[in-house]
Each structure stands twice: as C-alpha cells, then as structure tokens.
Structure 1
Amino acid sequence: MEAKIDMGKTKYIFVTGGVLSGVGKGITAASIGAVLQAKGKSLSIQKCDPYLNVDAGLLNPAEHGECFVTKDGAETDLDLGHYERFLDIEVTQQSATLSGRLLKELIDDERAGKFEGKTVQLVPHLTRAIQRKIELASEGSDVHIVELGGTVGDYEGLSFVEAFREFGRRVGRENALFVHVVYVPYIGTSKEFKSKPAQNALSDLRGFGIVPDIIIVRTDSPAPESIKRKIAMFGGVPDDAVLMMPNVDSVFKIPERIAESTLLPILNHFVGDEVAPDMRRWQGLVSMQESDKSEVVRIGLVAKYLDNEDTYLSVLEALKSAAWHEGVVLETTWINAETATDEDFATVDGLLVPGGFGVRGVEGKVAAARYALEHDVPYLGICLGLQTLVIAAARRGGLGHANSDEFEKSGQNVVYIMEDQVGKESTGGTLRLGDYPAQLVPDSLAARLYDGTTIVERHRHRYEVNQAFLEQIEKGGIVVSGTSPDGRLVEFVEAPGKRYIIATQAHPEFRSRPMRPHPLFGGLIHAARPRSPHLPTPDNRPAAN
C-alpha cells in the first residue's frame, strides 16, 4: 500500500462536473474559495483542462470564450478570471494545467533519457505529473482548490480523474474533499425535472473510485425537495451534502448562498474550525447591485464576436463593476464591427473597442474611434482599441491610408510589429504577455485616473505604435500619455480637451474586481453619464503595484 504523503497543513478540494460542460464549476470553485477566505483561510486555486493544447492562446474565442492572461504571462482559460475576481488574488501559470503541456513535458523527458528506458504510460507517469503540478500550485496555502474542465467520463479527462483519486488516497481522505456539480434539466412537455442524467454522472464518478462529499445541483429554476433527496440517494451522500443551486441574477450571490447552506458545517469540519465566515463584503456588493438606480448609461461595445459574450467576459465584468460603483444602470449595446455605422454609434453614451486579432471588422473599429474624436463621445480603447484610435487620428492628421502592419502593408503603417515579434505571427505563446510597467505623463488623464505616474498592467500583443508618425497622429487629435519606461513602446494615448477619450495597449479588464473597479472603466462610465460634471478621479483603484 502506498504511504500517505506529508503536504503540510494544506487541504485539497477537487471540483468536477457531470451531465454537460459549462455547468458552473468555475463559479462553484471560486465561491467555495470565497467562503473559506471569509473564514480567514489562505487560498490557492488551479484549473486542469484536458485539452491537448499547450495553452489557451490559440483556442478560438468564439468557442471557448476569452483567453485570460495571468501576471506572469500564461494564456489561460477564462475560469482563471473568475478565480481572480471572486478571490481578489493574482494567479500565475501554476494555476493553469493543460494536457498538452503535460504530455509535451513527458515526451521531452523521455527523449532526454530521464525515464532510463522504461515504458512511459498514462498511469502512472501522466497521473504523477498531474499530481506534481497540484503540489507545486498548492504551496503555502491553507486550502488548494482544483477544478477539472469538461465532464467526468470524457475520454481526455480520465487521467485527471484518476490523478485526483490517487492524490486523495495519498494525502488521506481527511485532507481531500470532492465536490461534484451536476445539471438537472426541466422538461417542458412533461412539466417535470429529470434527475436521470445527474444520476448517471454520479454513477460515472463513483465508477472511477471517487465518492463525492458535496453535490451541487444546477437547475434553471427552483426544483422540488424530492430531486434533492433522489440526488443524495444516488450520490451516496446525506441530504445535507446536496445544495440545490437554481439560476440567480448575479453570480456574486453564490458565496453567501453557500455560507448560509447546510454545506457550511461540512466545510467547517473539513478545515477544522467553526469560525463563522464574514460575508459583509459580499452582502455589500449584492446590496450595491440591487440598489435603486434611475440613471441609465449605454455603452456600445464595438466587436466582431457577437454570439458569445464569454469572448469579452472580463471586459463586461469590468463595465458592470464600474456601473455598480457609479450607481447607474448599465446597458451594453453590441455594435457589429463589420457593419458599424455612425447611426449605430449615435445610439450610445460611450464607446468601447476591446482587444482582438485579424482584419475582420477592423474598419468598423476605426470608424468608432473617428466618431468619438469628431463628436466628443467618451471612448475607451483596449489593445487593438488603442491601435484603431491611433489609425483614426493619423488619417485625420493627413495620412489618408494609415493602417497597421497586421492588416495591410503600406508606407503609412502607424502600427507595426515589434522587432522581437517578426516571424512569430503564427506561433503560440510568443506575444508580449503578462505584467509590464508604464510611465505616465504627469497631469495627463491617465495619471489622474491612476493617481500616479508609474503603473503596471497586463499585456497580450505583438504590434505597437510607430512613433515615426507621432506628428501626424497628434495632428489628428491625440497625444501619447504613457510609454514603457525606456520610451520605446506607446502604452497610453488620449485626446486632450475631450470629455473622455483614452486607450491603452494593455488589458486593464484583467485587473478589475467587483469590489474595486478599474479606474479606466470607472472613468468611461462616469464620463458617459448624461451631463457628467467633470473628468473622473475614481476612489476605487487597483491594488498598489
């Protein structure tokens, strides 16, 4: 029998899902973490994805949602954004574990002779590699939460399920808690909830040697208690270990829901204390969301992926957070970048052009920037949104064919590829990724918003502003208000004299928090309010760098 390993005082929670993907495992994992944080526990968290990709950088955002970037430059699944927003932490590449990277490392080790001629197998070699990643990601925390992407029973996820089972055996069941999230559909024709898919999902999990300690049952509407009892019976757990979780109008209500449920005694027993979680921050956030608001602010999101809001998830969350703290109702209008017209732009109070890649829809984004400059409409540009603002300004400043190297090769490309990115246009993991510092011009709008001149933001790009064209760009109405510390890269531009036109090469949405909105988003919402009295100086800013 394999001996237990000593992992210090760390406790491990494994979150799996059944029936279908997208059932809410990431929100569940983050919410359980938030409750344990409210009890005073230190948290670390990790997403295991069974995809054979090395990272999420080349995954189609229309299918998988946004690519979330960590401070150390890992391109990851959007669930890591949920983790950061709920737990107010900054995760690293250790929090993202994909099959592709693990298999690549195993093959590299085999080719280097590290297995000394032994046969390399999924069990035990891949499962041990998964467990090593869990051990590394959990160092120094009271509780480490691990979420498995997909559903239990997927072929590509079997090694992870086995690794979780082995890990629980190694650390001892008193140090490993298994949470299974299932979905129970409502059949309209027969007017009843059907628990059979969830029962089968639980049977699959138990068949792989894992008996859950907690079952979260997702439904579109409240289900009867009989469903809870049936799930408990087929899951092999007490009724109190099952939490029915119908849809809610705000995911930020879920931590308090868990804290008030019969799951709290289970969590208390698991971590070894009866300390009541202090949920006042979450109560305050929900109260802010639900407070009466009469003023409406309409923000036009000029984008090309309109059929999957997860593509711009962090941007939307940052806008919502800013609106709550401004005390206004946010209405997001999706403007198709491929067909956008001035008439579309005229229907909103402010414009936001998010990051992106490729030529499709770019002229609509340039048109949005031009419209903002000409009509003094509040505008926030993110990454590509900075580049389209620069292109629009350069065209207004006399360069009628101004463009970007990414879209067209010409003698008037005011945006060009960074020197160290040449030849890497089609390769993954090679962009300028993660945290980089910027120096802001004193007394600029950017400096006033950040309340300082030295800041750090996350990046994901390979093109930059060509400063050889600054004269024409400035003639078109914008100035550079922030650069890299060495002055080589343009990080911020803004339009002096306008209500609020600012753009950054960075991705500030990744550092926005529900209880501490990012100042660039707060500034946009404030400036877009009808008859906004002054330029914003938000009190809620990102944590000091």
Structure 2
Amino acid sequence: MSITTKFVFITGGVLSSLGKGVASSSLAHLLKMCHFEVDMLKIDPYINIDPGTLSPFEHGEVFVTADGSETDLDIGHYERFLNKDFSKENNFTTGQIYLSVIEQERQGQYLGKTIQVIPHIVEEIKERILKLGQGKDFLIVEVGGTVGDIEGMVYLEAIRELKNALGSKQVANIHVTLVPYIATSQELKTKPTQHSIIELRRLGVSANIILARCSQDLGADLKAKIASSCDVPVQNVIQAKDAPSIYACPANYLQEGLLDALFKHFNMEAQLDHRQFDLWAGLVHHILNPQRTLKIAFVGKYVHLSESYKSFLESMVCVGAHLKVRVEPVLINSEEFELQEGESETQLKERVARTLQSVDGLLVPGGFGSRGIEGMINAITYARESKKPFFGVCLGAQVMVIEFARHVLGLKGAHSSEFDTNAPHKVIDLLESQANTTHKGSSMRLGTHKISLKEGSLIAKTYNALEVYERHRHRYTINPDYLESYAKHGLEVVGQSFDHSQNLTEAMALKDHPFFLGVQYHPEFTSRLIAPNPLFKAFVQACM
C-alpha cells in the first residue's frame, strides 16, 4: 500500500509544559490555511485508559469530544485552533495500547507467540498512527511527556521505525525544547537543548526542526550555536518566544520560518490563504488590543490550577476577541465563601458581597464532590439577589437549583443525592441510566446530545435556533418533581432533552433577571476562536 501522508512528530525535552499542544495546533492551523487536509493525534504515555478518572489537580481539564470520549486537554487546543471536531481516534494512551494488545492475546490472535514490547506494542502504536493518517495530507502527532521519560520510550521507538519504513521525506521530527534565561548572568543557555537532543539521538531519533522556547530573542549567534551542536540547518532553529496570547503563535511561527523549514524538508511548496490568515490576525489584534476590560469571577473547586478550567478560560478569550473586550478571570476558591470560625451568617453574606461587588459577572463551572458546594451556593445567592449576571455550567447549574430550592422555595435541606444521600429534598438526583453503573471510567452521560429549546426564551434567541447539539459529562440531573414549583417562582425550564426514556432538564433561566442561566451541558467544549459558543457571548454581553 502506497502511503502519501506526511507525518510530523512533535516531541518535547528538558521539562513539561513547554507548549507542545499549542505548537502542534499552530502548525496544523498554518497547514490548514494552505488548504491541506490535516489531522492531529495526541499520544499520552500514562497507563490510565483515559484521563476521565484523573483528578483535575493531577492532570488538568478532561476534554470531552463530540463522540463522547474523555481526552487530554490538548484536544481542546486542536479544536479551538482548527475549528473542527475531533474524536476518540485523536487521542490514545499507553493504557489503551496495552489493553488492546492484551485483549488480542486473550483472543488468540498472536498464534501463541510471546507478547513483547517490540514488536507487538510498537506495532499497535504504528498501526494506529498509520490508520489515522490515511487519506490526509498531514498528520501532526504530539507525543506527551518529555524525552527521557521511561513511559515515552516505546513511542520514540515507533517513530524511529516509521521513519525507516516510510523514508525521511515523509516523516519530520520537531523537537520543542527550552532555552532558559539566567537572570544572574543575563544570558540564554543552550546546554539544556543540547542535552535533550543528545538523549533523543540516543533513542534513535534525530530532530529535523528545533522549536526553541525562550523568553528573550535568541539572536543569530545562539541560533548558529544550537544548529551546529544539534546538527540541524540554522534556518531550522525556530525561535518560539513567549507570546502575549497563544493565538498569536501561528503568526509568530510563520514569521520565524517554521512552514518554510517544514516544506523544504518535505521538498514541497504551498501558498498561504491570506484571507483566512487576515481573519485570524484580526481576532488576535482584538485580543491584544481590547477596548475595555471586564472582570468575571470563576467560583470553583479547582482554582489552584487554571489548567482545570482551560476550556472555560479560553472560551472567554474567544468571545472577547469578537466583542473587543478582555475578560479578566477572577479565580475564587468556593471554600472561601463558607462560614469561618466565629463568623455569623450576616457577616458571611457581607463578606461575599464585598468580594463580588467589584466583578461584572459570576460563573460557576463544573466539578465533582461536596467540597466547596456551600460556598458556591452563597455566591449564587448574591448573584440572584443583586441582579449580577450569572452563568452556571453542569455542577454550576445543579448548585443554582439547590440554592433556589433552599432560599426561594424554602425547602430546608434541599441538596444533591451526590452530596447527601439522606437529604429530605433531593432536587438533584442520579440519572436513571446511571443507576447500575459500577465502573468509573467513561461511564457518565458523555458526548453530544440534542437539546430542544423553549420558543421565545432568551436561550433560543441566543442560539437563534430551537434545537442545538451540545456536549455532556455528568451522572446527576435536575429532579423533575420540583420543576412546577420552580416555575411558579420564576425559574423556568428553557432547554430539555430525551434520554433513555427520561425527559432531562438541560437549561433553566430566571425571569426578571439580566442573565441568570444554568445549563447541564458543557458549552465551553464547542467554543472556538473563529466561532465562540453563543452562550458565552451572550453572558459576556450581559456582563458588559
């Protein structure tokens, strides 16, 4: 079989969090603007089957694809940069590879052979890469972790074998590395990059292009030094200087010659679509030069690590680009809004008000577990009573309902059965489809589902539609037994879906309030720079 796909492998050295995901997305974005058919793959070396059971503190956000896969947060970058949906095929882990090989062995597919890392594990990796690349002009493959990690060695072996099988003109290796600035000596140091390249070579892989992350300009001398010591042409040492916005990276890489270096390696030519490039550049200009600034409080459980809310934060950037505003997120640990020792309820309420009165809006994002729930409830009470724009997503919507049940309907002890199985009013309860679930991995209500919107409602006007498709990730839902009581007091159902013979409440909004909306789904997963999700746009406009 003849393979015409060009494979670009992106590895990282020195340390993690160098921005391989943004680099991969930026390159794919540039290739797409040259009208190439581009696909992307993120390989994660950990042994978990997927990140769905990992703590947000451990791994950051779990991104959910349209087909219901729980994936690495870098898939979110891919979707936001390329404005397209990805699937379970675009992210796999070591756990998935080993599970697949073991299952095949149990089925007798290896004809009694001894199963080994080489060839069986490596072959499984290669097969998945080649399958995803079929029919594409380019496949960008981002390898998670850092060169030298024991978990990632099997992937570097797969890269080495693919290059030998396909030839150097169909495979390119881009190595992202760090050139740190040492303040005491006021100079950039290339030694970490040199050592990283040496380790890469030791494992049988040579870098064709070096993407050098730095906080200062490299300069011609340093580029020449890196090129000489790492055995690449000097024009293939691409400066990846810290950018004021990740969305500025494609233009920066283009200016630094990344596309030219890649096309020269593949012995090909292409022209950039400047109309698309200018549209993107215009949005980046609005990000970097906003006409005004808004402050929106994120009251959540994982604010210690902003990566946990990556898609929320990027959604605000994407909306801001279109509205020409900069949304400044104020990350607040919801536990801070709970009663402190010796504090009265009145003092607590005054303290919450003092903290939130200076923000333009309030958002409560998703999460799991009982920690910080009471603080979220107190924040939502303030937003409801003060007419401050409020947006609740998934858990945020559920907590909004709990707050309303307690403080407007007067249902003492109203809670979610997730947090209190003995609550007298389980206004949030387990989905019927989840009743017999025992496995935790990939077992929630996941992926895209159709939602019917109430005609004439603000949410229907926001979407300009009566039916929308949005992504989900939840086990609990709003108990329908109380909906009539909510409606009598102004909190009405404005979005519903039908799932497993059960009508599910997807969105609720409060009348006579500028913006008080809770949705069970995750609109942040479908918000892109080119096309922000309409709900985030409406929320920010309300905050304006």
Measured in 1, the distance between the counterparts of 2:10 and 2:22 equals 11
Measured in 1, the distance between the counterparts of 2:304 and 2:416 equals 27
Note if contact 2:283-2:322 (Cα within 8 Å) is conserved in structure 1: no
Name the residue aligned to 1:533. none
User: Secondary structure of the equivalent of 1:82?
Assistant: helix
Measured in 1, the distance between the counterparts of 2:135 and 2:491 equals 47
Matches within 5 A, 1:342-353: 342-353=353-364
Kindly indicate whether residue 276 of structure 2 is the aligned counterpart of residue 274 of structure 1.
no
Note if contact 2:287-2:326 (Cα within 8 Å) is conserved in structure 1: no
Q: Deviations over 1:21-69 (max 9, x none)?
A: 1111111111111111111101100000110110010112113210011
Kindly indicate whether residue 456 of structure 2 is the aligned counterpart of residue 443 of structure 1.
yes
Kindly indicate whether residue 195 of structure 2 is the aligned counterpart of residue 182 of structure 1.
no
Measured in 2, the distance between the counterparts of 1:169 and 1:366 equals 59
Name the residue aligned to 1:406. 418
Question: Does 241-250 or 487-496 show the bigger shift?
Answer: 487-496
User: Secondary structure of the equivalent of 2:52?
Assistant: coil
Measured in 2, the distance between the counterparts of 1:473 and 1:414 equals 11
Change (3 A) 1:499 1:271: farther
Q: How many residues are paired up?
A: 523
Deviation (angstroms), 1:425: 6.4
Aligned to 2:521, which of 503, 506, 509? 506
Q: Deviations over 1:84-131 (max 9, x none)?
A: 111111100000110001111111111222112101011110111011
Change (3 A) 1:415 1:425: farther
Kindly indicate whether residue 298 of structure 2 is the aligned counterpart of residue 301 of structure 1.
yes
Name the residue aligned to 1:532. none
Measured in 1, the distance between the counterparts of 2:21 and 2:487 equals 45
Name the residue aligned to 1:6. 2
Q: Deviations over 1:522-543 (max 9, x none)?
A: 11111011xxxxxxxxxxxxxx
Matches within 5 A, 1:449-488: 449-485=462-498, 488=503
Name the residue aligned to 2:83. 88
Measured in 2, the distance between the counterparts of 1:480 and 1:277 equals 45
Measured in 2, the distance between the counterparts of 1:434 and 1:202 equals 40
Question: Does 471-480 or 114-123 show the bigger shift?
Answer: 471-480
Aligned to 2:282, which of 278, 284, 293? 284
Kindly indicate whether residue 507 of structure 2 is the aligned counterpart of residue 492 of structure 1.
yes
Note if contact 1:297-1:528 (Cα within 8 Å) is conserved in structure 2: yes
Aligned to 1:337, which of 324, 334, 337? 334
Q: Which amino acid is the alignment partner of residue 366 of structure 1?
A: I
Note if contact 1:231-1:242 (Cα within 8 Å) is conserved in structure 2: yes
Q: Which amino acid is the alignment partner of residue 375 of structure 2?
A: G
User: Secondary structure of the equivalent of 1:332?
Assistant: strand
Q: Which amino acid is the alignment partner of residue 536 of structure 2?
A: F
Q: Which amino acid is the alignment partner of residue 281 of structure 1?
A: L
Name the residue aligned to 1:312. 309
Question: Does 469-478 or 365-374 show the bigger shift?
Answer: 469-478
Percent identity over the alignment? Answer: 39
Note if contact 1:94-1:136 (Cα within 8 Å) is conserved in structure 2: no
Measured in 1, the distance between the counterparts of 2:438 and 2:417 equals 11
| TM-score, normalised by the number of residues in structure 2 | 0.93
Change (3 A) 1:474 1:98: same
Q: Which amino acid is the alignment partner of residue 272 of structure 1?
A: M
Note if contact 1:15-1:179 (Cα within 8 Å) is conserved in structure 2: yes
Name the residue aligned to 1:327. 324
Note if contact 2:384-2:516 (Cα within 8 Å) is conserved in structure 1: yes
Question: Does 275-284 or 161-170 show the bigger shift?
Answer: 275-284
User: Secondary structure of the equivalent of 1:314?
Assistant: helix
Note if contact 1:335-1:344 (Cα within 8 Å) is conserved in structure 2: no
Deviation (angstroms), 1:227: 2.2
Deviation (angstroms), 1:288: 1.7
Measured in 2, the distance between the counterparts of 1:513 and 1:19 equals 31
Matches within 5 A, 1:374-393: 374-393=385-404
Name the residue aligned to 2:447. 434
User: Secondary structure of the equivalent of 2:328?
Assistant: strand
Note if contact 1:432-1:460 (Cα within 8 Å) is conserved in structure 2: yes
Question: Does 445-454 or 134-143 show the bigger shift?
Answer: 134-143
Deviation (angstroms), 1:423: 4.5
Q: Deviations over 1:313-340 (max 9, x none)?
A: 1000101221222222322111220112
Deviation (angstroms), 1:496: 1.6
Question: Does 276-285 or 317-326 show the bigger shift?
Answer: 276-285
Aligned to 1:167, which of 159, 162, 169? 162
Change (3 A) 1:93 1:292: closer
Note if contact 1:6-1:171 (Cα within 8 Å) is conserved in structure 2: no
Note if contact 1:373-1:477 (Cα within 8 Å) is conserved in structure 2: no
User: Secondary structure of the equivalent of 1:497?
Assistant: coil
| TM-score, normalised by the number of residues in structure 1 | 0.93
Deviation (angstroms), 1:469: 1.2
Aligned alpha-carbon RMSD (Å): 1.5
Measured in 2, the distance between the counterparts of 1:133 and 1:290 equals 39
